[in-house]
Structure 1
Amino acid sequence: MTAEYSAHHLQVLEGLEAVRKRPGMYIGSTDSRGLMHCLWEIIDNSVDEALGGHGSRIDVVLHRDGSVEVRDRARGIPVDVEPRTGLSGVEVVFTKLHAGGKFGSGSYASSGGLHGVGASVVNALSERLDVEVDRGGKTWAMSFHRGEPGVFAGDAPDAPFTPFERSSELRVVGRAPKGTTGTRIRYWADRQIFTKGAVFALDELEQRARQTAFLVPGLEIVIRDERADEPVETSYRFDGGISEFTDFLAPDPAVTDTWRLTGAGSFVETVPVLQPTGAMVPTEVERECQVDIALRWGTGYETVQRSFVNIIATPKGGTHQQGFEQALMKVMRTQVDQNSRRLKVGNDKLEKDDILAGMTAVLTVRLPEPQFEGQTKEVLGTPAVRQIVSSVVTKELTARFTSTKRDDKAQAGLLLDKVVSEMKARISARAHKETQRRKNALESSTLPAKLVDCRSSDVADSELFIVEGDSALGTAKLARNSEFQALLPIRGKILNVQKASISDMLSNAECASIIQVIGAGSGRSFDLSAARYGKIILMSDADVDGAHIRTLLLTLFFRYMRPLIEDGRVFAAVPPLHRVIVQHPGSKPNETIYTYSEKELHALLARLSKSGRRWHEPIQRYKGLGEMDAEQLASTTMDRAGRTLRRVRVSDAEADSTVFELLMGNEVAPRREFIVDSSARMDRERIDA
């Protein structure tokens, strides 16, 4: 570095250079996530056309050569000359930042694009991009190399490229059928920009395509993956819109039907408007905001809420979600107060979590030029939307509760019963939590007598072993390090909490003991910071029964103490299956080797035979933890220096919840079907019988 710093040290990045220099600013990252972001920039342009009523089908093709193609039958990118730049509309869209038809020019009533940078950013980060436009009875074409227009001498991305020198040319390459319009874009992501492992994720693409098809009724999105030996094609179209989306998202049986709340409102805002002279003049503009909400309540307590602005997902909410929840609270409290005698609520007041429990809702608003907080568009900031959404929800939801129709009255009654029961459960759980949690681990009388606690008060360093059976507990007591390792024995298989109610779970001795010992509560009142141990280790026998007990324990943690799993604090111990004593000649002591699977055992014996070494027969096969002595259990399973732990993680909570419901829930038929269908994949050697 030099102390000199003057104007000639400054760099001015022109055109698309800034995008290539700092791609993360525009697409977030240069891994698979950024690659998918680029693809959705192109697809969203076609979706915005469909949102305006232009085109009803979008095709996305993942080609074998690594390129991706997006085709639509919308209006097509303008091909005439843009007067300020003297360039064709196609070249302006793909080479100029902050250029497009979504700045209040009247081309789009509402759109997902706002900044006019999407297509040009994708072009800048592509080794090659080809665009074809059907418009005016002709097919127009143009190609780009890393954002620069020119001509390729072949079809491959690395074909010789000649850039335009004096003026660029939008070529006519064919005739389009009369009345046919549309756009086809194919591009190859630039591997100088994106990391080596960046790939287009088919499952993520399909999930987003399904979501978009729900949000734009009548739009068909076709995903075709040609990268495998056999092409895979999936089509998404949902004429039911967000009502169908809500039913798809709902994780539990219904208490109410899916209710649709719709309405609109207008507001005035002052925005800078671009004049023909090029000046920006502050102007009062009247906006209309359309509100469309689908929601239903189910028997569970999980809340599934999705919010969108012009089909842009807003995972962190914003003014529209604030208005929705504000009106929901107001209407529900009013209805509970009016029915307080029947519901026996006394002076207790509803809280937001009581109302949201078991609710699945999709909230959408459409308005021109929405204001977002930040580049990522995750939070809507337009202030007037809050009151508009609140008014629509208050009016429509009140009409539901005051309806004289038999079905509406029955469902409204069931919903109020559910909301009030959630409130009472919350109050009861809070009282339980306050009375059960101890201030000092060694002085509290609420802890189970069978807990063998540790001496250390350092939460991060402490470990709780949940041990199967009293026989294993006796050995574990001698094998543990009493400074930081605590033991809690359980009797066999605990209650299957996926089928049981909350009250049954709390009254179950084993489940209550685990919750009390961990000391952080359960369900929505669970407080991770109050947990008394840094690691929770499930130590069960290495057989089928042990696996079943581990599954039952994981079901308990997943349903009622999920933050422990999400924080990576739940582990499964890995005890050995075999003990092999290798003989040494002479007076040299024998060597003990532990193996953890049949495959590992056979590999070890083959290795010993090859080297001419002998071992004691029979080889000990551990059926349970109680068969080990303290020294063996310590060295293989409990001692930090030599043990192996499997960390339990929740990579996809929704998918994991589905699996738990399938394997541990009330519905027998789907579980039987799963077992039958999966039987062919079962290794008979893994059955401990």
Structure 2
Amino acid sequence: MSADPLDPAPAARGRRPAKAEPEGYTAAHLLVLEGLEAVRKRPGMYIGSTDSRGLMHCLWEIIDNSVDEALGGHCSTILVVLHADSSVEVRDDGRGIPVDVEPRTGLSGVEVVFTHLHAGGKFGGGSYSASGGLHGVGASVVNALSARLDVEVDRGGRTHATSFRRGVPGRFAGDGPEAPFERRTGLEVAGRAKRGVTGTRVRYWADRQIFLKEAEFSYADLVARARQTSFLVPGLTIVIRDERGLPGTPAEHGPHEETFRHDGGIGEFADFLSPDPPVTAVWRLQGSDVFRENVPVLDDDGHMTVTEVERRCEVDVALRWGTGYDTRVQSFVNIIATPKGGTHMAGFEQTLLKVLRKQVELNARRLKATGKDDKLEKDDVLAGLTAVVTVRLAEPQFEGQTKEVLGTAAVRPIVARIVERELTAVLTSTRRDEKQQASVLLEKVVSEMKARVSARVHKETQRRKNALETSSLPAKLKDCRSEDVSATELFLVEGDSALGTANVARNSEHQALLPLRGKILNVQKASVADMLKNAECAAIIQVVGAGSGRSFDLDAARYGKVVLMTDADVDGAHIRTLLLTLFFRYMRPLVEAGRVFAAMPPLHRVEVSGSGRRPAEVFYTYSDAELRQLLADLNRKGRSYKPIQRYKGLGEMNADQLAETTMDPAKRTLRRVTIADASAAEDVFELLMGNEVAPRKDFIVAGAARLDRERIDA
């Protein structure tokens, strides 16, 4: 007979009774967070994090509210000021936040916007046809996470003002967030505004109880966002002013101000983003279409009713192809960046591939693309592409408050239809310039396809090779014995003279040497074909063993570290720059993985004589300043030293000296080459090694005063 689960008899037979429910645990113990309390309790849900990234996200929310006014044609100027007291201010000349009483809450429009989550003018009430803020939590979240927030609105000939302390409305009796505070609702009239003048001013101090102490506003990020927005909203002027005086910023020695305005729109933006010489001009693909969707709409009785509404989606794409193979595509929805794409990017990329595949098929005989493997893939089409994809629509559906992915499904077919129609029209145009550009573009994508197929065939062939086959590596390579990639190092050595010394100084178990004859080709100017014809460049790519360009396979690299070992002089620095240009342009994943290093050979050797019980010592210095400091210390201690040895090249060092200072992992110093900012790095390489001579001349002239003439070998 089965036991009754409610029968206490089993406990009497020696089994432990079930644990009794804790007494006193009632509904009163449940915590209900109301209003902005939830934001302060879980800020990461709304702004992502509480570091500098979250701090900047709050600023974007306030700025985007002003930009939404500009999108509607109501605002022409936005001013952002980073004040010295850690506050930030955003001003605009838009319509101004409504100051009249909202009937359902009995509060002014300003208080509703800044104190109520999911409240605003972007929920289909007709105030904004397209906007960036769709969840209605931006301003209220910033308010909740601010120690103090002041709002001033010019409207109806008056200036209306109010303040908040951590989301609570009231008045401050003084400046700053520490001033005495009195809780109070309602707006006060702070003054009179000129006739016809409207606008909003928001100034706030981020709450350091919430944000990390080291979190601060990034001027560089702010400038980049302002420039980007000025491209996306033609005619809008954005002024950024920094008054903080922080070291290492443009405002270090006084207030710094920059103004951004671009009337050319995203066409000008695509030109700005382009890293390489053009193959095509910037093409604009524009159009709009309507779709229907079911959305909750607030009726006259204050109830949400699911209603089918008609939406209009406007599509604007600017794209161009360049001679390189890097891809730069940025997408936006109502000026909000969507770095992780979404439905609009899916429609764009798939249609781009579809249209170009069709054009290649129609011109297969001329393009010599009639093989069974001659079918374009996504990477072939994206090689060298720079594009800005924007869509505008009312109430887009984003995934999360950070709005990084567009989820509105109806946008995908609309973007696809417009891109297919407009791009096909350009590629089949009978206009002479567009016809010529289309022809060059098709040749480019077909060459990318053939390079990809060749790389795949070569890789498969290499895999089929057996161990008995001879190596095709350059004869001048002094390879290492170890096959453990994580432990091996390839030294690119300047000159054959240094090779002999380095060969004796190295650990042949895990250190390989490849000598370079003089200065390699400047690949920033040269074409891919010229680069591959250059013996030194080809040897480096062959020895590294991972391919080049888009076909570069980091996992196939034969060495764990690549060390550039050049002389510590001007020529050595030039050779190092040329090598870094090669790695940056054609083997960038190796740099991004932190596997490229620059050796640091010493400039001087100082042999200090022994005295008494103190033995003789040898010191190496790496700069003239370090040498002067060492000699001053020795003179102060009364120690004598032999004539200083100045190394002009690696070949002047003995093998034991080179091993001790530059090659021995236990004693050497290596400088890791990183790409902290790929865009800035690209600009620097283009400045130093590109085709434009005038900017390089200006750079040299500007830095001439800092040149140490003693380091020039002449």
Aligned partner of 1:324 among 331, 340, 348 = 348
Q: In the alignment, what sits opposite 1:264? A: 288
3-state SS of paired residue (2:605): strand
Q: In the alignment, what sits opposite 1:274? A: 298
Aligned partner of 1:208 among 225, 228, 235 = 225
Aligned partner of 1:625 among 650, 663, 682 = 650
- Which digits, 9 at most, give the CA deviation of each residue in 1:591-616, with x for residues without a partner? 11111111111111111111111111
Alpha-carbon spacing, 1:579–1:391, altered in 2? closer, same or farther (3 Å) = same
Residue pairs, 1:595-634, within 5 angstroms: 595-616=621-642, 618-634=643-659
Q: In the alignment, what sits opposite 2:537? A: 511
3-state SS of paired residue (1:253): coil
Q: In the alignment, what sits opposite 1:502? A: 528
Q: In the alignment, what sits opposite 2:155? A: 135
- Which digits, 9 at most, give the CA deviation of each residue in 1:89-115, with x for residues without a partner? 111111112211212222211110011
> How far, CA to CA, are the matches of 2:712 and 2:445 in structure 1?
46
Does residue 190 (structure 1) correspond to residue 207 (structure 2)? The answer is yes
How far the C-alpha of 1:116 sits from its partner, in A, is 0.9
Does residue 106 (structure 1) correspond to residue 131 (structure 2)? The answer is no
Alpha-carbon spacing, 1:288–1:213, altered in 2? closer, same or farther (3 Å) = same
Q: In the alignment, what sits opposite 2:52? A: 32
- Which digits, 9 at most, give the CA deviation of each residue in 1:529-557, with x for residues without a partner? 11122111111111222111111111110
Alpha-carbon spacing, 1:219–1:161, altered in 2? closer, same or farther (3 Å) = same
Residue pairs, 1:467-506, within 5 angstroms: 467-506=493-532
How far the C-alpha of 1:522 sits from its partner, in A, is 0.6
> How far, CA to CA, are the matches of 1:589 and 1:440 in structure 2?
57
Residue pairs, 1:49-448, within 5 angstroms: 49-164=69-184, 168-228=185-245, 230-347=254-371, 348-435=374-461, 445-448=471-474
> How far, CA to CA, are the matches of 2:672 and 2:592 in structure 1?
11
Q: In the alignment, what sits opposite 2:7? A: none
**Amino acid of the structure 1 residue aligned with 2:151:** V
Alpha-carbon spacing, 1:440–1:312, altered in 2? closer, same or farther (3 Å) = farther
- Which digits, 9 at most, give the CA deviation of each residue in 1:431-489, with x for residues without a partner? 44445679789975122222222232222222211122233222222222233222222
**Amino acid of the structure 1 residue aligned with 2:557:** A
3-state SS of paired residue (2:685): helix
3-state SS of paired residue (1:602): helix
How far the C-alpha of 1:87 sits from its partner, in A, is 1.6
Alpha-carbon spacing, 1:434–1:513, altered in 2? closer, same or farther (3 Å) = farther
3-state SS of paired residue (1:494): coil
Question: Would the aligned equivalents of 1:579 and 1:595 in 2 still touch at CA under 8 Å?
Answer: yes
RMSD of the TM alignment (CA)?
2.2
Q: In the alignment, what sits opposite 2:602? A: 576
**Amino acid of the structure 2 residue aligned with 1:670:** P
3-state SS of paired residue (1:244): helix
**Amino acid of the structure 2 residue aligned with 1:171:** E
Alpha-carbon spacing, 1:678–1:432, altered in 2? closer, same or farther (3 Å) = farther
**Amino acid of the structure 2 residue aligned with 1:516:** Q
How far the C-alpha of 1:395 sits from its partner, in A, is 0.8
Q: In the alignment, what sits opposite 1:566? A: 592
Q: In the alignment, what sits opposite 2:12? A: none
- Which digits, 9 at most, give the CA deviation of each residue in 1:131-169, with x for residues without a partner? 0112233221101112111111113332111113xxx12
> How far, CA to CA, are the matches of 1:260 and 1:416 in structure 2?
18
**Amino acid of the structure 2 residue aligned with 1:480:** R
Question: Would the aligned equivalents of 1:438 and 1:444 in 2 still touch at CA under 8 Å?
Answer: no
Question: Would the aligned equivalents of 1:92 and 1:99 in 2 still touch at CA under 8 Å?
Answer: yes
> How far, CA to CA, are the matches of 1:428 and 1:543 in structure 2?
41
Question: Would the aligned equivalents of 2:146 and 2:207 in 1 still touch at CA under 8 Å?
Answer: yes
Structure 1 window deviating more from structure 2 (401-410 vs 561-570): it is 401-410
How far the C-alpha of 1:405 sits from its partner, in A, is 2.1
**Amino acid of the structure 2 residue aligned with 1:71:** R
How far the C-alpha of 1:361 sits from its partner, in A, is 1.2
How far the C-alpha of 1:11 sits from its partner, in A, is 2.8
Alpha-carbon spacing, 1:610–1:194, altered in 2? closer, same or farther (3 Å) = same
Alpha-carbon spacing, 1:180–1:588, altered in 2? closer, same or farther (3 Å) = closer
3-state SS of paired residue (1:103): coil
Structure 1 window deviating more from structure 2 (404-413 vs 95-104): it is 404-413
How far the C-alpha of 1:419 sits from its partner, in A, is 2.3
How far the C-alpha of 1:26 sits from its partner, in A, is 1.9
Q: In the alignment, what sits opposite 1:651? A: 676
Structure 2 portions without partners, runs of 5+: 1-21, 246-252
How far the C-alpha of 1:293 sits from its partner, in A, is 1.0
The number of aligned residues is: 684
3-state SS of paired residue (1:500): coil
**Amino acid of the structure 2 residue aligned with 1:396:** E
3-state SS of paired residue (1:593): strand
Question: Would the aligned equivalents of 2:325 and 2:549 in 1 still touch at CA under 8 Å?
Answer: no
3-state SS of paired residue (1:363): strand
